Structure 1
Amino acid sequence: MKALAIAATGMSAQQTNLEVIANNVANINTTGFKRARAEFADLIYQTDRAQGVPNRGGELPVPEGTRIGLGVRTIAVRNLHEQGSLKGTSNPLDLAINGDGWFQVSGPEGETLYTRSGAFNLGPNGEIVTLDGYLVEPGLNVPQDAVEVAINQSGEIFARLANEVEPQLLGQISLATFANDAGLEALGDNLFRETAASGQAATGFPSLEGRGSIQQGYLEASNVDAVKEITELISAQRAYEMNSKVIQAADDMASTVAKGIR
């Protein structure tokens, strides 16, 4: 009975959907996290009677055929790169991007990775690094005798040294943008990698050419909406139950047939 196999694909799809929702909820307080959504597509169809073919020679084509769908499958888990809310902090090295763009980070293998989490700190030599110790590109060093660090919306970094009135310009943070943010490969630890689907990174300074601005003393919160996720959770649970009911009904029908044979 095909209904058993068809409903099983539905249960499997909703299990995947539940796992995606669970990951969203688990990261509701993760800085810069982008919620995901499972995407589904119907499977191939079994044709018992083709439409558009004459039933007999000389007759008009059959207007409607008989095609039975064989279930559903997961085709993608899409990251939704919507802007998260900005939350103020007391750390001058906490940076948030208000708009489009990604911070660039030197990964452990020397490759450039990308993140929206701007929870930065200083390394042993004054380097600006992530909480995992990865260098933020372009590599800029804050002097050890700096008493104040200011970063404007254009990404320019100024440091005021001891016994000096005017701050010194240390450099400027650049941001990367992509034609297709959803094509980036999520690596965990708030890091993403460029892929053929995302397109090559286009780098430039904040507040220019459509890139977002830098907000010092802020962090971008997760864009997970708790109410929306609970609604999606209930929907997934009900869909799973309905597929389970189909399996139970198909089993009852098969049992009736079996009893009749005996």
Structure 2
Amino acid sequence: MISALYVSKTGLAAQDKQLSTISNNLANTSTVGFKRDRAMFEDLIYQVQRQPGAQETQDSKLPSGLQIGTGARVVATQKQFTQGNLQVTEQPLDVAINGRGFLQVLQADGTLAYTRNGQLEVNEEGQVVNSDGLVLEPAITIPQGTSKITIGKDGTVNAYTQGAEATPQQLGNITLADFVNPAGLQAIGGNLFVQTVASGTPTQGAPGENGMGSLLQGQLESSNVDIVEEMVNMITTQRAYEMNSKVVSTADQMLQNIAQNL
């Protein structure tokens, strides 16, 4: 009974982490480029009281053993990099990645961060930045007097100036980065990811080439959170939490009964 209390305690802690993961997913249903998390569970170490396959007699072996589990835990939260729905915004600096890859931005410490959020803007120096003011890498500067900007599927950025609409000025190219294991990236908030040992080193390339997704101007990638799925997960998590709580209550009643009758 004492062991049952500790086993159910691990279940309660695991379901609490699962609920936190679900609530974060639901909170980010409107976050552009957000990728949902999935909690991954594993069982804890077993107390082996009879070894499976042990010699029972000289001529027989145990077909099964006696193994008492000690509970469960959340061992990881895995990002699901499935494609989100594409939303048409008709804003010239909005870009969606249709396929694999990440936009690159330069952080304040000089390192690169990666994002699927294509809500780009222009700062006071004419540089293309994200919503937090981090400069797109490689840098692209919009000249004064620009009346129109086009971003091709291959990442080519052209500007049209007033009075010279027939002659576009090429400003540069947006390049994408991809990883062998995107789920190994570390999320740091602000729709940004950074490289880790688990993700591997980034491979850079032009959109639409070598497995990279293409860019779509005037569109944004929505969060890939499925609200119905998250609600179902929330219900099952709640029921699992209630059942673990019931085990705690039952074990407590059994201990109380022993204390009152012995």
Task: Give me the TM-score of the superposition, normalised by structure 2.
Answer: 0.97
CA contact (8 A) 1:80 1:182 kept: yes
Question: How is 1:178-217 mapped onto 2 (pairs within 5 angstroms)?
Answer: 178-217=179-218
Q: CA RMSD in A?
A: 0.9
Q: Which amino acid aligns with 1:42?
A: D
Q: Please list the CA deviations of residues 146-187 of structure 1 after superposition, one character each: whole Å capped at 9, or x if unmatched.
A: 110001111100101121122111111000000000000000
Contact 1:45-1:68 at 8 Å conserved across structures: yes
2:109 corresponding residue in structure 1: 109
Residue type at the aligned position of 1:26:
A
Instruction: Tell me by how many angstroms 1:126 deviates.
Output: 1.3
Q: Distance in 2 between matches of 1:79 and 1:51?
A: 37
Partners of 1:109 and 1:204 lie apart in 2 by: 24
**3-state SS of the aligned residue for 1:251?**
helix
Task: State the shift of 1:123 in Å.
Answer: 1.5
Aligned to 1:90: 90
Unaligned runs of 5+ in 2: none
Moved more, 18-27 or 138-147: 138-147
In structure 1, distance between residues paired with 2:25 and 2:179: 23
Gaps of 5+ in 1: none
Give 1:55 deviation, angstroms.
2.8
Q: Distance in 2 between matches of 1:51 and 1:191?
A: 48
1:66 aligned partner, one-letter code: L
Name the counterpart of 1:131.
Answer: 131
The residue that corresponds to 1:12 in the other structure is 13
Give the TM-score normalised by structure 1.
0.97
Q: Which moved more, 1:84-93 or 1:177-186?
A: 84-93
1:23 maps onto 2:24 in alignment: yes
Give the Cα separation in 2 of the matches to 1:143 and 1:38.
Answer: 46
Distance 2:186 2:158 in 1: 33
Q: Which residue of 1 aligns with 2:260?
A: 259
What per-residue deviation string (whole Å, max 9, x for no partner) do you get for residues 11-61 of structure 1? 1000000000000001110011000010000000001111222234x2422
- Alignment length (residue pairs): 260
Tell me which residue corresponds to 1:50. Answer: 51
Q: CA deviation at 1:136?
A: 0.2
Residues 139-150 of structure 1 correspond to what in structure 2 (within 5 A)? 139-150=139-150
Q: Secondary structure at the match of 1:104?
A: strand
User: C-alpha displacement at 1:90, in angstroms?
Assistant: 3.3
Could you tell me how far apart the structure 1 residues matched to 2:54 and 2:25 are? 49
SS at match of 2:38: strand
3-state SS of 2:76 partner: strand
Instruction: Give the Cα separation in 1 of the matches to 2:171 and 2:181.
Output: 32
* Worse overlay, 83-92 or 69-78: 83-92
The amino acid of 1:15's aligned partner reads D
| Cα distance in 1, alignment partners of residues 136 and 52 from structure 2 | 61
Code of the residue aligned with 1:255 in structure 2: it is Q
- Cα deviations across residues 212-257 of structure 1 (Å, max 9, x unaligned)? 1101011111111110110000000000001011111111111111
Point out the more displaced range, 243-252 or 197-206: 243-252
Matched residue type, 1:91: Q
- 1:61 aligns to what? 61
Q: CA deviation at 1:118?
A: 0.6
Aligned-partner SS, 1:75: strand
